Amino acid sequence: SAETFTISTGKSSVSCGPDQKMLDAFLRNGVWVPNSCNQGTCGTCKVRVVRGTADHPPAPDSVLSVAEQEQGFVLSCQTTPSSDVVIDPPAENPDSPGHVLRDIAGTVGAVTEIAADTVSVTVLLDEPLDFTAGQYVELAVPGTAETRPYSMANPPSEPDKLEFHIRRQPGGLATEGWIFQTLDVGDPVTMSGPWGDFCFEPDESAGLILLAGGTGLAPLKAIARAALAADPDREIHVYHGVRTRAELYDVDFWEGLAAAHPGVRYIPCLSREQWSGRTGYVGDAMMEDIASCRNHAAYLCGPPAMVEAGVKALKRRRMSPRRIRREKYTPAA
Ligand code: FAD
Ligand code: FES
């Protein structure tokens, strides 16, 4: 729609500009709505429109059921109002990380190949960014109207310089078409953030189990660093799964962390190559090592299948579902 409309939740109201998505309008105005993918694939951001009309692409049944659609539920990350609207306050108990979404500009400080088809990119920001360890930004892909989400690998105590771990996707618009092709030191970068509800909870004192697949290690690095800054003796078990040794990265960083902190264990796992270290999937390796996860909390990040298998493994080891937090690197629809 080309007009600005008002979205009211009963408690608060925000204005939503032409073509702006409802989720974007909420987060930019400090109204928290739980959200994860910002691309219509997870369903976390659903809200119920009780009055007014809105435009959105069809949502897959697996993300928003027919019954929910009939009740007026929409994916707020995909929906733009076409009149003033009233929504029910979001159903889930929203634990806001408390940062306002905004546009951010910066300059590339470094692009480093860290493993096969994997780079680390450092972006020096014009202004510091408030975020919680685990969250991500949407990078604008130059010359297109597209954005892609990438997780911060640095903790929020370093708010001026963001670190990203990015894996090449064959034929990918952002990765093969830009990041692995032309992106270079000194290039300007624009993004919005912070996004997502994959957030480190600093008040929880349980031992942590971190399960990563590929570049899903990025937000877990931020979480481990934030946790250790608060408590250098924190118990943290880090499982990093990749297919082959050539895909492993940040080994020195994690070995250094384990050497400096008595509570840290680092376990890289290869799923498609034999070596002197562990083989197989991270969830299976974790189950071999830890008899009960009852007193731990977990953060998982990586490809959807890896995250789902990891959640199952944690539940089999008796972890309570409310202590399991996850981020799935689902491809853009
Ligand atoms: P696209 O142009 O989007 O895709 C090209 C083709 O490849 C399409 O057919 C697409 O369906 C397919 N495809 C894309 N990705 C995959 C895949 N993973 N598996 C199978 N097929 C695929 N990636 C990182 O490397 N580091 C991060 O920190 C990171 N953080 C993310 C955070 C969130 C919340 C989400 C949802 C995703 C994150 N991703 C991350 C994935 C990233 O956003 C992009 O999806 C990825 O880089 C591919 O983008 P692209 O534009 O190069 O490929
Ligand atoms: Fe909207 Fe995932 S569907 S945040």
This complex has an ipTM of: 0.98
Q: Domain map of the chain by residue range?
A: 5-87, 102-195, 207-328
Residue 92 binned pLDDT confidence (cut-offs 50, 70, 90): low
Scanning 12-113, the segments in alpha helix (DSSP H) are 22-28, 66-70
Residue nearest to atom 3 of ligand 2 (CA): 40
Q: What is the pLDDT of residues 14-26, one digit of tens each?
A: 999 999 999 999 9
> For residue 319, which amino acid is it?
M
The H or E element that residue 191 is part of is strand 188-195
Scanning 29-109, the segments in alpha helix (DSSP H) are 66-70
Q: What is the pLDDT of residues 198-248, one digit of tens each?
A: 999 998 889 999 999 999 999 999 999 999 999 999 999 999 999 999 999
**Ligand 2 lined by 44 (C-beta under 6 Å):** yes
Neighbour-count burial of 303, counting CB atoms closer than 10 A to its CB (0-12 exposed, 13-18 middle, 19+ buried): middle
Q: What is residue 89's predicted lDDT score, i.e. its pLDDT?
A: 76
CATH code, 102-195: 2.40.30.10
Q: What share of the chain is helix, strand, coil (3-state, %, to 5)?
A: 20, 30, 45
Question: For the residues 75-98, what does the mean pLDDT come to?
Answer: 86
Specify the ligand 2 atom closest to the Cα of 42: 2
**Ligand 1 lined by 136 (C-beta under 6 Å):** yes
Q: Is the pLDDT assigned to residue 93 strictly greater than 80?
A: no
How far, in Å, from the CA of 76 to the mean position of ligand 2?
7
CATH code, 207-328: 3.40.50.80
Fold assignment, 5-87 = Ubiquitin-like (UB roll) (3.10.20)
Maximum C-alpha span of the chain: 62
**312 φ, ψ (degrees, to nearest 5):** -60, -45
> For residue 298, which amino acid is it?
A
**88 φ, ψ (degrees, to nearest 5):** -70, 140
